[in-house]
Amino acid sequence: MDIKIIENIQSQTNFDNSNILLLYKGMDNGLALIDEFDSKYGSIDDIICLEKIKKRTFLCGLGERKSLTTEKIRTIAANIIRELNKKNITEINFTNIKNLQLSKKEIEVFVEGLILGSYKFEKYKTEKSTNSLTSIHLFLDEEYCDAVENGKLLAQCNIVSRNLINEPANFMYPQTLAEEAKRLGLEYGFETLIYNEKDIEDLNMGAFLSVAKGSNKSPKFIVMKYNGDVDSDDRLGFVGKGITFDSGGYSLKRTASMVDMKTDMGGAGAVIGAMCAIAKNKLKKNVVSVIAACENIISSKAYKPGDIITSMSGKTIEVLNTDCEGRLTLIDAVHYIINKEKVNKVVTIATLTGAAVTAFGSITTPIVSNNDDLYRNLEEAAKLCDEKVWRMPNFEEYRELIVGENADLKNFSGKYGGCITAGLFIGEFVGDVPWVHMDIAGTVSIKKDKGYKSKGATGEGARTLYYLATK
């Protein structure tokens, strides 16, 4: 789908296509015939054929100017696209968009919504419901060009994440995830290094390897680097959970909760999407991302409840539940990124706990952090793209719950406060480095299309991480 700015309003007569008017409440639409349209937010009027303009014209209400938010703009843009595709429209002109006095940021999110509203994951359907819309013209001044391009990029990177996460686990496994990261690195401009099983052994990543052992698909440790500021020692690190399938291991999940576990590499999807946007926009920042990619699956080689394992840091862990695998892969990744890549700030992003889903559903991402400033930056970054985050308490009493009996730590401490104890478990491996942890188990996917989010993966986190890197 092509989105273009058209500057000269006169040129509209050259287009053999439809128009759409976006209207605030009380706004004069200049078309006497459509006075009864009340411009309530979200209302999209049926086709009207106006003698006066000889065009198929749609009306769309934006409600009161003062109650219009960036989230509402993204949502309405997506809903318009869904509606027009339903009506088999191929080309559309937003002829009065200039009169709406939208800021550059508002145009940017409008474009995001247009693109995200047309996303569907239909790769494996033999009959695809093709989108009819192929071109969109925004009647705007040239000065909005950057905003339009930025909107396209952020939507595209969100879609990169969605595509990776929606891919089923028989196609998306450590090897293919690593290959995708490499391909995207070449396309968007970051470097990708892939460590194989032998390299991972040499790095002594005992916790990661314990989880990976059960699968005949070998683990990959994926490192992505973007150096936009070579004069600076500052390095931001992202660690994404990359369990390409989580069966629970010997602490086996029931089918109902296992069936969605291809999304357990949602954190990996988010960091790859963010890397694409960061590199493409050539941010003046150094960013390193890592993913410890493996499957958590059963075989005679798999790790077992009761095993005691040694992490890369040297700390030992008693495995009380093999379904608490994410934190085991993440601690080796975190230890690596801090000690080998020398990052001085780190974000972990993971579909880590069902407790996060219980607490906040699919709406808000709970955060665990050891640093107020970094948390504030994350909160601001999330606000810039209307993703919702909320900080969890991290009182000392929670930390006591993860102390091991037969080893330094235990990976499971009961389900109560599970989102916090899982986060703090990772926190044991960050030392004094400022750290925020995002548990996207709930926000990673949704069951039904909703506004600019489509059924399946939401790509949550990719845009927040991008904005965090802009800070």
Residues that bind ligand BES (CB under 6 A): 246, 248, 264, 321, 323-326, 351-355, 357, 412, 415, 418, 441
| DSSP 3-state of 236 | strand
85 vs 351 by CB, closer to ligand BES: 351
242 vs 326 by CB, closer to Zn ion: 326
Q: Which does 63 bind (CB under 5 to 8 A by kind): ligand BES, Mn ion, Zn ion, none?
A: none
In the block, tokens 């690593």 appear at 178
Taking contact as CB under 5 A, which single stretch among the options 8-16, 152-160, 322-330, 331-339 is the one that binds Zn ion?
322-330
Judged by CB under 5 A, which of 246, 318, 379, 460 binds Zn ion? 246
Provide, rounded to whole angstroms, the least separation between the CB of residue 164 and Zn ion: 16
Within 8 A by CB and 6+ apart from 459, the residues are 157, 158, 159, 160, 161, 162, 165, 269, 270, 273
Neighbours of 450 (CB within 10 A): 14
The reply on whether position 295 binds Zn ion by CB under 5 A is: no
222 vs 243 by CB, closer to Zn ion: 243
Judged by CB under 5 A, which of 219, 326, 366, 434 binds Zn ion? 326
Distance separating alpha carbons of residues 382 and 468, to the nearest angstrom = 8
Among candidates 17, 16, 14, 33, which has minimal Cα distance to 87? 17
Provide, rounded to whole angstroms, the least separation between the CB of residue 318 and ligand BES: 14
One DSSP character per residue, 210-227 reads HHHTT-SSPPEEEEEEEE
In angstroms, the Cα distances linking 301 to 203, 219, 231, 392, 468 are 21, 14, 47, 37, 40
Active site residues: 253, 327
Q: How many residues bind Zn ion (CB under 5 A)?
A: 4
Provide, rounded to whole angstroms, the least separation between the CB of residue 310 and ligand BES: 21
Q: Which residue number is nearest to ligand BES in terms of Cβ?
A: 354
106 vs 323 by CB, closer to Mn ion: 323
Residues 148, 114 contacting (CB under 8 angstroms): no
Binding mask 306-335 vs Mn ion (x if CB under 5 A, - otherwise)? Answer: -----------------x-x----------
Provide, rounded to whole angstroms, the least separation between the CB of residue 361 and Mn ion: 19
153 vs 359 by CB, closer to Mn ion: 359
First CA to last CA across the chain, in angstroms? Answer: 31
Provide, rounded to whole angstroms, the least separation between the CB of residue 412 and ligand BES: 5
325 vs 460 by CB, closer to Mn ion: 325
82 vs 327 by CB, closer to ligand BES: 327
Judged by CB under 5 A, which of 45, 106, 180, 246 binds Mn ion? 246
The reply on whether position 460 binds Zn ion by CB under 5 A is: no
Provide, rounded to whole angstroms, the least separation between the CB of residue 171 and ligand BES: 19
Q: How many CA atoms lie within 13 A of 455 on its CB side?
A: 6
Q: Which does 441 bind (CB under 5 to 8 A by kind): Mn ion, Zn ion, ligand BES, none?
A: ligand BES
Provide, rounded to whole angstroms, the least separation between the CB of residue 418 and ligand BES: 5
Distance separating alpha carbons of residues 223 and 203, to the nearest angstrom = 14
CB under 8 Å, gap of 24 or more: what pairs does 401-409 form? Answer: 402/428, 404/316, 404/317, 404/318, 405/318, 406/308, 406/318, 407/308, 407/316, 407/317, 407/318, 408/315, 408/316, 408/317, 409/315, 409/316, 409/317, 409/318
Q: Is 105 exposed, middle or buried (0-12, 13-18, 19+ CB in 10 A)?
A: middle
Kindly state the DSSP code that residue 235 receives in the 8-state scheme.
-
Angle between helices 104-116 and 70-86 (to 10 degrees): 40
The reply on whether position 264 binds Zn ion by CB under 5 A is: yes
Give the residues lining the site for Mn ion (CB under 5 A): 246, 323, 325
Residues making contact with Zn ion (CB under 5 A) = 243, 246, 264, 326
